[in-house]
Structure 1
């Protein structure tokens, strides 16, 4: 009996020993599985649609500055779908509707009609304007505060209109009448002539507005303005910019023109308060990079303006009119 009890006791001890060994095996840390290398996410790529109203040195420079700045920021990650409306506003709508259909990541609208077409085409895709004079006027925003607050922002090419009026006085203090020549189809041109007229009248000039509807009546209206004015003022008007030859043929050597921007001045003007449209495009491109990378929200971005203005003159036109150039002016580069 004692032998049986001893055998049972020994057997129990062996079972417990085996269980303990088994427990120790289970507690041993399992070998960690080999780590799978993390996958590198594919680089972001962006498509930007560019709608430019017309081929013109100022607009061309703004587009180039925009592309250069955005390429500097994003490199090969950005591609451009660049299209030109050849001066036809309805074509802008066709172009931007194509951008919307193709799902571009951002639209750059170069000039007011392009901006208006883009804003009408989409409320979702970010839109940046450039070479746009006054966004409140262009988009029909009353009491514009400087930030659109929707999917639209951009840069303005507006030079100080009081300084442009002062330029008329600086060059032609003895003049009595100033004719304001512009295209009535361009809301920003109307804004400029209305504003500068107030400043000119404060300086003692008698002002008359000479609006033309398009190139069909541009020559006759320009002739009427030249016949009845001592000086003409032409704002940053796209139709005038594309047809400076018409103005120059009528005014050259007879009636001086103060222009709102360098391209118009180079074609038919005496002097201008100039901005760099290339630099304006660069500023727009930097805004675009922030939007595409998520650094900024277009709805919160205020309109930006040219950082500096330069007084420039058209050397050949001044010589033909026998004008003495005031101090502080730079000659417009030719060629």
Structure 2
């Protein structure tokens, strides 16, 4: 009996152990099943990070779409050509971005290069998104004031001269680009010859303080001498001696040439009050000067070069264009224009392909 009881007991314990093993197997299965949600949860942070990144990108896109660009404009002085360039620049930006996406801080230096530097320093302190430098002195002040904020010039005759770049390739390699108002000097010399083939002496009248005026005068002199003219240079340091210098020029010359000179452009009435009574015609480098004291010009549109600079600004601000490699742009078109009033007074008849400058 005892032996049978021991066998029965052993059998019972074995059954219990087997049952226990079965229970352990089920627990293992349940644990494995329970671990799947945990594994899924371990993936969720990555999904959360991805979702957060997408949310961040959306937020950045939203931020970009809400961006109001701050633009500083430094214009050397007020006259028709520079005013037109500034207007074209502003209208290009508002056309492309919308009036509510751009804010202009427009300041005029009243012809003083030191004031240009002060204005530029204000823009740098305000951390504007981009600077428009209208005229050479403004560009030079901007170049000296910041090496990081994008600078676009306009109404600049020659960037290499203005920035003292010797190996000019068409780009500055700096935080500077823009548009040029370089007149077609060779064609202007041809126009002067077309209108005044019998003239002997041509006076080159400009401000000696404006590097780009010096450049233009030196360049066109070669073309004029190629037609057999004798050229004489008459320079003024500022507006105070324009009348006396112009008087000297009319006494020695048959025709006077005035390049795209800012000081001359602001004092066309003074020049006209000397040249017109003396009967000496003026060929002008651009429309604004011609309107005030000239008989004819082969002129670019300052509005057009300003507008082009505005398009370049949009490319920089919105598309991330690299300003250091952006080529300087030039006016797409030129027009033969004449001042009907002065031509009549001097009894000058122009060819039919000249367009009368519109009176304001």
Q: Name the TM-score class by shorter chain.
A: over 0.9
CA deviations on 1:95-130 (whole Å, 9 max, x unpaired) are: 111111221121110001111111111122111110
Tell me the C-alpha RMSD between the 2 structures. 1.8
Moved more, 9-18 or 200-209: 9-18
Q: 1:69 aligns with which of 92, 110, 123?
A: 92
Task: Establish whether residue 10 from structure 1 lines up as the match of residue 35 from structure 2.
Answer: no
Task: Establish whether residue 220 from structure 1 lines up as the match of residue 244 from structure 2.
Answer: yes
Aligned twin of 2:77: 54
Take 2:286 and 2:314, find their aligned partners in 1: how far apart are those partners? 27
Q: 1:27 aligns with which of 15, 33, 36?
A: 36
Take 1:18 and 1:119, find their aligned partners in 2: how far apart are those partners? 77
For 1:208, what is the secondary structure of its paired residue? Answer: strand
Aligned twin of 1:96: 120
Unaligned runs of 5+ in 2: 1-8
Take 1:15 and 1:207, find their aligned partners in 2: how far apart are those partners? 112
The alpha-carbon deviation at position 13 of structure 1 amounts to 1.8
Task: Establish whether residue 269 from structure 1 lines up as the match of residue 278 from structure 2.
Answer: no
Aligned twin of 2:144: 120
Aligned twin of 2:6: none
Task: Establish whether residue 257 from structure 1 lines up as the match of residue 253 from structure 2.
Answer: no
For 1:252, what is the secondary structure of its paired residue? Answer: helix
Take 1:241 and 1:73, find their aligned partners in 2: how far apart are those partners? 31
Take 1:302 and 1:14, find their aligned partners in 2: how far apart are those partners? 81
Take 2:18 and 2:96, find their aligned partners in 1: how far apart are those partners? 82
Moved more, 187-196 or 24-33: 24-33
For 1:167, what is the secondary structure of its paired residue? Answer: helix
The alpha-carbon deviation at position 143 of structure 1 amounts to 4.2
The alpha-carbon deviation at position 313 of structure 1 amounts to 0.4
Take 1:17 and 1:146, find their aligned partners in 2: how far apart are those partners? 80
Take 1:208 and 1:8, find their aligned partners in 2: how far apart are those partners? 122
Take 1:51 and 1:64, find their aligned partners in 2: how far apart are those partners? 13
CA deviations on 1:120-147 (whole Å, 9 max, x unpaired) are: 1112211111001111111122242221
Moved more, 55-64 or 12-21: 12-21
The alpha-carbon deviation at position 259 of structure 1 amounts to 0.1
For 2:55, what is the secondary structure of its paired residue? Answer: coil
Take 1:328 and 1:78, find their aligned partners in 2: how far apart are those partners? 41
Unaligned runs of 5+ in 1: none
Count of residue correspondences: 335
**Normalised TM-score (structure 1):** 0.95
The alpha-carbon deviation at position 17 of structure 1 amounts to 2.2
Q: 1:303 aligns with which of 314, 328, 332?
A: 328
More helix per residue: 2
Take 1:18 and 1:217, find their aligned partners in 2: how far apart are those partners? 106
Aligned twin of 2:4: none
Aligned twin of 1:154: 178
**Normalised TM-score (structure 2):** 0.89
Aligned twin of 2:201: 177
The alpha-carbon deviation at position 294 of structure 1 amounts to 4.6
Q: Which runs of 4+ in 1 moved over 4 A?
A: 28-37
Moved more, 306-315 or 25-34: 25-34
